[in-house]
Structure formats: structure tokens, C-alpha cells
Amino acid sequence: MDKVPKKHGRGNDMILGLDVGGTQTDAVLIENGAVVAESKTVNSGDLISTLRAALDKTLAGVSPRQIERMVFSTTQATNAIIMDRLDPAGMIVSAGPGMDPEWFRVGPSYHVVPGCMDHRGSEVMPLDKAAVLGAAATVRKAGIEVCGVVSKFSVRNPLHEIQAAKWMEEDFAYTALGHRFSGSLNFPRRVATTYLNAGLFRIHHQFVSSLVRTLRQLGLDQAPQYLMKPDGGTVRLARTYHFPAQTAQSGPAASVMGALALDAWPGTSLVLDVGGTTTDMALILDGVPLCVPQGITLGPYQTSIRSLLTRSIGIGGDSEVSVDKRGHLRVGPLRQGSPRAFGGPAPTPMDALVALGIANAGNKRAAMDAMAEVGQALGTDPLNTARIILDHVATTIAESARAFIHQINARPVYTIYEVIEGATVTPDAVVVLGGPALWLAPLLGRALGLPHRVPEHYGVANAVGAAAARVTVEITLQADTQRGTVVIPEAGIESPIPRDFSLGDCQELARQVLAQRAREEGADVENLSFTITEQENFNMIRGGMKTGRNIRLKLAVVPGLVSEWKAPGNPC
């Protein structure tokens, strides 16, 4: 149920948070560090009308001039990856000697062309223009409108990617260039990340365009607009147009930040955010989330996208329930629409909750009919069918959570601040978020053998997390004192340096550039903390003599909550 906004003051001190999920759009308004309005809007299929309805409900009686900042998160990209609904994208890759780029083949039209740089960024073989244009023609002939271009050492010298893009500038609606998405040398991850950026371009472009149009119509286009990133921070909305994969895991990251904002209990917590289409999970250690500094895995894709450590599985409150030919119950990963209890076409877990009277909502007769339909295939009555479905949902989520925790404990534990060597992560409670949280939390707690908590504003936790998250920025610096150059790809910097340029000099330069980029993004630089997430520093030797130093480091703003946010009391 939507909460009516309280009477607001006149200052420009409100933050709007809005999360576009696969099923519903949640919105919150924060004033003086507390949630003063919240709403849930069922997605109508028309994004603009859904956004407008959500904003109208949440901002009733609020002047646009009172909004200081707007932050949005979305599960659209994550859902597209999980449900294999990416747009087809071409890939043109150049590598040269070494690992075979065919090992990293991705997408329906993948082409390897001659041309390469060495590991220091010096051109070894010019890029073959005829081969690039031929590959582009093949991609276009297949009816594909977007393309990715990756050169193996483009983070050291992006010349070949830039050349290919210029040659093909009239061929595609969007061309994704690998060096723009990561300063990491990991070639396979850069290929996958570039492909995702191309495959998500249309989906993200439609989302941002619809959002900007709606904000303009409502007179809300004056306040700064941000989008939630996978690393738990925010970025200017306009900067995401050409970086669509930056929205992947936006919704799950908002879940983590929502849990940080709403659940202040100490200890190790397993966070489960049960939405309509997916369930997102994460772990928080004494108020500190885990992260994946080298890049998150999204479906089958190992990317270079820095992210909080989350996992999304294709099961939620509105997931389609069916029985296969062998008589096995299936829940998800697809969602056909609303539950039967709300006029939808297919049985869902929500129908099971309504049929059993656990959820007092919707049309109970329609929910019972849905359970009878599934029960006929299972050979049991409607109420027992509902119990079987809910047990299946809780068991499936619990099994996935245990596998998630096992994988975490099988490798070094990275938090947003540091690496915890030899740590074994064991949650002592489960925090359940999302619309059905109150109803499912006892089932999930029992399936996991853990006490459960459902915090205040649990139904709109993603929107709270987005609104309360601060700006984050990451850069990669690579210095070669023999060549006399320093490169920071994310900032478009390539500058000369003296031969005695040291690790300390690199760290200082990186901090200055990172602070400047954070300032440009609208961050409160005085209250930010930076962390070095990767660092390499080694001598280059030729003929038994030291000829220079190669220095590489990654520096990031640590994600956290804005200073305006005030945590609520204990959860229910």
C-alpha cells in the first residue's frame, strides 16, 4: 500500500529514489535523512506511463524545486541477461600472437581480423581495414545493428579500436569499444563486457530516453540525475548512454545498499531480495558488503565490471509455475505477467500465497483455480499444491544461497575496503526484502536454518538503496617509464612522464584524477574515501640492464551511504 507523503518543508533537501524492476516500479522520497513517501506501481508494459504513475504517486504535493537529487536503479539489464533476451550483437576482435581469440567467441557474428599491439602499446601489425569492413558487412547482412570492437592491448593503446570505429561509423546504431569499459588487461573479460554493452544498448537507451522524457514532462529535469551502478555507487545518468552494461546488476546492487541503509544489525547477514522476476542475494559482514574487484559474472559472461558480490536467480513471486512432461514442478525463470490472482495468465508463487490465505490480496478464487490447474498435473489438491510450490520456492532459493556462500568461501574474500585472508563467511541471519518479504521470510528462514529479519520499508528497499547511495568512480593508471608515458583510459588521459616517475607519483596522480572525476560526477569529495584495489610495480629488464619500470594500479571510491541518510530503528 502506498504511503501518503508527509507535509514537507520548503528546502531543497529531498532525494528521489526509483527502482524499475521486472514486475513493479518502486519509488521513495527521502527528506532530512528519512523516508517520507513510498509507492509501488505495477509495470504496465509501457515504460513511460509506468514511470509517470510512480512519480505522480510519490511526489504528490511536492514542488520539483524541492528535489535535490534523483537516483534510479533498474533490473532490466540483469533480467535481459538471465532470460537470454539480449539483442544480437556483432563482434570484431584483433589479438595477434598468443592466446587464440576464438576461445572467447561470443554472440551470433564473431570475427577475428589481422592487426595487433604489443603489451606496451606499440603497434606490431597495422589493423587490416579491408578485413574490418568485410566483417562489418557480414554483421550488417545478418540484420544486426550493433557491434563491439576489441583489440587485445587496447588499454595500453586504443588506436586500433578507434580506427575500426571510424571506418564503420555509418554502419551501426552503436559501436562498443573495449578500452572504454575497463582499464584491465584481462582480454577475455573485456570481450565479454564489450559484447554485453552492445547487446544491452537498445534496452538501456529506451529506458534512459523514457526516463528523461518523463522527467521533462513533469518538470523534474532540473535536479541532478544518477543511475545505480553494480559497485553500489551512482553515476550521472547522461554518462550511461554509451555504457549500457554499467546498469547490469544495478537492481541487485540497490538491494545491498538498501539492506545497508535499512538493517543496522551487527554480524554477518545473508540478504535475499525477492522480486517478481528474480531473487537477488548478497552477503554483508558487519555492515560491509563483499565485492568482486576483477569483474562480476553475469549469466555465462565473465566481465570486467567492478561490482558488489551478488547473485541473481530466475525465481520470484510472479515466476511462471508449470509441470513438465515428467511430472516435475518448475518455477521460473520466465515470468508471463501478473499472478492469476491479479488477472495474469499463468500460475505463480504469489497465487500459492493467496490461495493459502497467507497473502490477503487479489482474487482468491482465481488463485485457487491456478492451484487446481497445477495440482491436476501433480495429482494433488489445490491447497497441497500451493504448499508444494512455496516449499519448492524456499528450497530452491536456499540451495542457491548455500551454493553462493560455498563459492565465496572457496576463494579470497574481498570487501569494499580490503581482502580478508583465510576468512570463512557464515551468515547468522537472513534479511529478506521485496514485496513478498513478510510472507516468504519465515519459509526462507526455515529452509536456511537461520533467524530472519524484515526491515522497515522492505517492499521498496531497492529504491531506498538507490536514493541513499553515494557517487563512486574507478580509474586504472598504467605507467611505462621506459616509454615515458602514463595512461588512464577511463579519463582519456595519455601523458608524458619522466623516467624517474615512481609508484608514489602514480598514486598521487591517480588520487588527483579520481577526485576530479568524482567532483565532476557531483560527489561530496571531502567525505569520500579511496581505496587501491589492484597494484603492480616491476622493473623492465633488457640485456641484463634495468630499462624502466612498469606500474599499474586501480583506484576506486569506496561505496557507501550519503551523509544525509539516517538509519531507521530496529526491523520488524
Handedness of CA 234, 236, 239, 242 (dihedral sign): positive
**Mean pLDDT on 466-470:** 93
Burial of 563 (0-12, 13-18, 19+ CB in 10 A): exposed
Sequence-ordered strand ranges (E) for 417-542: 419-420, 429-433, 452-453, 474-480, 485-488, 493-496, 530-542
Which of these, 411, 413, 338, lies nearest to 370 by C-alpha position? 338
In a domain, 428, yes or no: no
Please check the confidence at residue 9 and state whether its pLDDT lies above 50: no
Domain with 486, as residue range(s), is 474-557
Site of grid cell 513478498? 436
**Amino acid in position 486:** V
In a domain, 371, yes or no: no
Mean pLDDT comparison of 232-236, 380-384, 479-483, highest-scoring range: 380-384
User: Which residues have C-beta within 8 Å of that of residue 244, sequence separation ≥ 6?
Assistant: 77, 196, 197, 200, 201, 203, 204, 205
Question: Which triple of cell numbers denotes residue 351?
Answer: 497465487
Which of these, 305, 227, 284, lies nearest to 417 by C-alpha position? 284
Do 101 and 50 reside in the same domain of the chain?
no
Q: From the CB of residue 567, how many other CB atoms can be counted at a distance below 10 Å?
A: 15
Mind listing the pLDDT tens digit for each residue in 119-144? Answer: 877 889 999 999 999 999 999 999 99
Do 151 and 230 reside in the same domain of the chain?
no
Contact 81, 61 (CB under 8 A): no
Contact 561, 468 (CB under 8 A): yes
**Mean pLDDT on 181-187:** 79
Give the residue from 220, 250, 280 where a domain finishes: 250
Kindly report the CATH number assigned to the domain that includes residue 193: 3.40.50
Kindly report the CATH number assigned to the domain that includes residue 245: 3.30.420.40
Give the residue from 169, 199, 229 where a domain finishes: 199
- The whole-chain average pLDDT of the chain stands at 88
Do 78 and 96 reside in the same domain of the chain?
no
Which of these, 100, 86, 88, 95, lies nearest to 150 by C-alpha position? 95
**Mean pLDDT on 299-321:** 89
Please check the confidence at residue 76 and state whether its pLDDT lies above 90: no
DSSP state letter for 1? -
Residue by residue, DSSP assigns 177-221 as EGGGT-----HHHHHHHHHHHHHTHHHHHHHHHHHHHHHHHTT--
User: Which residues have C-beta within 8 Å of that of residue 410, sequence separation ≥ 6?
Assistant: none
In a domain, 549, yes or no: yes
Can you tell me whether residue 111 is helix, strand or coil?
A: strand
Instruction: Output the pLDDT for position 12.
Output: 54
Please check the confidence at residue 572 and state whether its pLDDT lies above 70: no
In a domain, 398, yes or no: no
As a three-state string, the secondary structure of 469-496 is ECECCEEEEEEECCCCEEEEHHHCEEEE
Which of these, 483, 503, 484, 561, lies nearest to 529 by C-alpha position? 561
Task: pLDDT band for 545, please (50, 70, 90 cuts).
Answer: low
Do 478 and 548 reside in the same domain of the chain?
yes
In a domain, 163, yes or no: yes
Distances (CA, A) of 110 to 88, 153, 177, 476: 11, 19, 15, 28
Question: Which triple of cell numbers denotes residue 109?
Answer: 557474428
Domain count, the chain: 3
Which of 5-19, 322-336, 430-444 comes out lowest in average pLDDT? 5-19
Do 97 and 189 reside in the same domain of the chain?
yes
Question: Which triple of cell numbers denotes residue 55?
Answer: 512519480
Q: Provide the pairing of β-strand 109-112 with 116-117.
A: unpaired
Do 100 and 76 reside in the same domain of the chain?
no
Mind listing the pLDDT tens digit for each residue in 187-240? Answer: 999 999 999 999 999 999 988 888 898 899 888 988 899 999 998 999 888 888
- Range 500-531 burial, b when 16+ CB lie within 10 A, else e: ebeeebbbebbeebbbebbeebbbeeeebebe
Which of 36-40, 61-65, 242-246, 441-445 comes out lowest in average pLDDT? 242-246
In a domain, 115, yes or no: yes
Do 218 and 179 reside in the same domain of the chain?
no
In a domain, 21, yes or no: yes
